[in-house]
Structure 1
Amino acid sequence: MAALKAFICLRRAEHRPSHGKGFPFSLLRPVFQRAASCRIPNFLLIGHRGHGMNILQSSDSRMKAIKENSLLSFNSAAKFPLDFIEFDVQVTKDDCPVIFHDDVILSEENGTIFEKRVTELCLAEFLCYGPQKEAGKEGKCLYRKTKDGKFEKWNVETDDSLCTLQEAFQKVEPSLGFNIELKFDDYKVYQSDHLTHILQVILQVVFEFARYRPIIFSTFQPDAAQLVRKLQNNYPVFFLTEGGTETYYDVRRNSLEEAMKVCLEGGLQGIVSEIKGVFKDPGAVPKIKDSNLSLLTYGKLNNVPEAVYVQYLMGIDGVIVDFVEEISRTVDDMIKPDEASGGKESESNSKLQFSQKELSFLLKLIPELIQQH
């Protein structure tokens, strides 16, 4: 890591490579211009589940600071210079889009932990878990399952109520973009009619309440990604992938190459990949950009400032991060446009040229990053 930091210090004053034919900024430009904030980003910074995801067993207090996917988390993230927040949307049994990451809600009754699928609850049942908005009313305790299979109370430093997609539109800073992840069960087969119904329910809320807020849709479900693109053309759709770091029965989820095929076949605008998948196959980046697709990343490595700056140099279009305060400072210090040019890259300065020796050195440092995280 020390060698990587030294490399960053040497090159941080340089300009990033141009996006070439990369998608998002030309398409998002009119959306940002209509929004309350007219800043057009050159490198998207996105808060993961708002202010950051919760990992209850983590020794890092930042992972347990604020309840993820809550209005409090979203508005806390809005205090920093982010472009978007990312959150997960599912639809309840009575057709209400709600914001929650896990497929199931875990709670306790008579000393026994039980689980209920979010999509099998009606809205009133869903909202009865966790802190309640009504004064004096106590909600049912929420639990989460840790990686080692244990159940742990979902305790965070600052808790908040569960919320709906409509509430997010109405109560979150309007200039902050929404990266809406359309959440589906990884191991369930969905019929086209059912997918269409779920997506139409979500789109109805988006169309009614989004106004001029920038929106990006994303999902790991390839059929849903292509279908939401067919159902609307107002907002870009990105396909989420682990980039080959996990293996699924559906081969479309198993590599960056397959992700490109999903996007090109469905007319999607970009890919959101686990960053380890990109670092293990950096040659995929120019292929993705040459295909007129945008590339965003997520993952623990995006909480490492040096890893974020390396992605900037590689021409990646943005990152989804948990440590929004620290990484927004990194982006502001290392990546913000040259103020003297008014935020516009000149033709002569837009490309950062690497020597072959420098490029080889940079790529050799990437496995070091992966091993440490």
Structure 2
Amino acid sequence: MALKAVHVSDVPNLDQVPKGPTIALSSSLLPKGMEDLKSAFKPAKFVVIGHRGKGMNALASPDRRMKEIKENSILSFNLAGRFPVDFVEFDVQVTADDCAIIFHDNFILTEEDGNISEKRVTDLTLEEFFSYGPQREPGKVGKKLFRKTKDGRVFNWNVEIDDPLCPLEEAFQRVDSHVGFNIELKFDDNLVYQEEKLMHILQVILQVVDKYANERTIIFSSFQPDAALLIRKLQGTYPVFFLTNGGSEIYSDVRRNSLDEAIKLCLAGGLQGIVSEVKAIFRNPSMIPRIKESNLALLTYGQLNNVPEAVYMQHLMGINGVIVDLVQEITEAVSDFINPETVRDESLSDSVKEGKAKESTKLEFSQRELSFLMRLIPELVQQ
């Protein structure tokens, strides 16, 4: 397989990602689960997950692909589902009147009397939440949406194709059932949550899941350690993954500060896997066998997952899957190294195809390509 070279200078930050090839993944989704998931949870193949649907909205980015479709929307989920993704990932919070909604940011911004105003999403009622952005009712105009970046800049939340804000219930009802859901349980890093509050929020979300999930494949994940442990205690049907940036930021809760701590948390709480920032894995590749030996699955997220070569390296290293923004480009790249053309040759018998498929996992590439890959990853990780 010939890899498309991507220069380090082409990938300066999350807002700017390289343009690459396009793909197809056969969807061998993870099983819905068993009554008890105490045993190891292993994805059937290398998994591709669409970040907030068909990709997050990076409003400061010059790359139009990062502002193409409203993130965390029904439209974004369904458009991602046209490609061979296994899951779409999205963020779930609970409103003041106990409705599970899909929205990433802790605060929602609009303009009032010429000034930017912001309100905590979880302080809104469902009706107030729906009053922002494009409206479902013809002729009705919603409050204009703005978004604040990590460095404090505020942007109009303008995308090429907009879509109304949505509740979790609607995602189950309107997104094609073949698309799995990676439900991130979203909490504010700057708040301390008591167990009673966490329990209530998670029960609201589980009520929706229990009512509408049917046979849809679902994974729960959270950066909030206690939320991850609680959702595991409250249900035994769906796997729970702990999200971590692997130590790139330091928190008062030590459980969030390293991959070592992530492993400890998962083993203590019976969680099924870890979702790590990809740079933490590339900086500490020895953690991969340790995670595997702990019978935990490993997924990654982050900027580098929009680089086909970096995804390819993870496949070779034994990582179970990636969360990506460039759904089309990365699914095409994954298809290239998982399902080469010879396996798709209709003239071959089923037994020969099966043998070819097994052979395809033993990837062959030139010394020059391998050398390039080994140089690319450390340079990108240092940025």
Q: TM-score, length-normalised on structure 2?
A: 0.83
1:216–1:30 Cα change, 3 Å: closer
- Conserved 8 A contact 2:55-2:324: yes
Matched position secondary structure for 1:102: coil
Residue 193 of structure 2 aligns with an amino acid whose one-letter code is Y
1:234–1:341 Cα change, 3 Å: farther
Distance of 2:303 and 2:360 partners within structure 1: 31
User: Cα distance, 1:368 vs. partner?
Assistant: 1.6
Q: Which ranges in structure 1 are unaligned for 5 or more consecutive residues?
A: 7-24, 33-39
1:265–1:353 Cα change, 3 Å: farther
Which position in structure 2 is the counterpart of 1:209? 212
Residue 30 of structure 2 aligns with an amino acid whose one-letter code is L
1:307 matched to 2:310? The reply is yes
Residue 29 of structure 1 is aligned with which of 28, 31, 39?
31
1:283 matched to 2:286? The reply is yes
User: Cα distance, 1:29 vs. partner?
Assistant: 3.5
Residue 167 of structure 1 aligns with an amino acid whose one-letter code is E
Residue 329 of structure 2 is aligned with which of 321, 326, 334?
326
User: Cα distance, 1:334 vs. partner?
Assistant: 1.1
* Structure 2 counterparts to residues 236-251 of structure 1, below 5 A: 236-251=239-254
Q: CA offsets, 1:102-130, max 9 Å, x none?
A: 00101110011111111100000000000
Matched position secondary structure for 1:89: strand
Residue 152 of structure 1 is aligned with which of 141, 150, 155?
155
- Conserved 8 A contact 1:217-1:235: yes
Which position in structure 2 is the counterpart of 1:370? 381
Distance of 1:183 and 1:69 partners within structure 2: 13
* Structure 2 counterparts to residues 113-132 of structure 1, below 5 A: 113-132=116-135
Matched position secondary structure for 1:29: coil
Matched position secondary structure for 1:28: coil
Number of aligned residue pairs? 341
Which position in structure 2 is the counterpart of 1:51? 54
Residue 236 of structure 1 aligns with an amino acid whose one-letter code is P
- Conserved 8 A contact 1:31-1:213: no
Which position in structure 2 is the counterpart of 1:101? 104
User: Cα distance, 1:282 vs. partner?
Assistant: 0.6
The alignment yields a C-alpha RMSD, in angstroms, of 2.6
- Conserved 8 A contact 1:312-1:335: no
Matched position secondary structure for 1:181: strand
Q: TM-score, length-normalised on structure 1?
A: 0.85
- Conserved 8 A contact 1:144-1:152: yes
Residue 185 of structure 1 aligns with an amino acid whose one-letter code is D
User: Cα distance, 1:366 vs. partner?
Assistant: 2.1
Distance of 1:349 and 1:72 partners within structure 2: 34
Q: CA offsets, 1:167-196, max 9 Å, x none?
A: 000000111000000000112111011100
Distance of 1:161 and 1:335 partners within structure 2: 36
Which position in structure 2 is the counterpart of 1:192? 195
Indicate the percent of aligned positions where both proteins have the same amino acid: 65
Distance of 1:288 and 1:335 partners within structure 2: 23
Residue 123 of structure 2 aligns with an amino acid whose one-letter code is E
- Conserved 8 A contact 2:69-2:76: yes
- Conserved 8 A contact 1:307-1:369: no
1:140 matched to 2:151? The reply is no
- Conserved 8 A contact 1:309-1:335: no
Q: Which ranges in structure 2 are unaligned for 5 or more consecutive residues?
A: 7-27, 35-42, 345-351
- Conserved 8 A contact 2:32-2:217: no
User: Cα distance, 1:364 vs. partner?
Assistant: 5.1
- Conserved 8 A contact 2:309-2:373: no
Which position in structure 2 is the counterpart of 1:182? 185
Distance of 1:243 and 1:284 partners within structure 2: 11
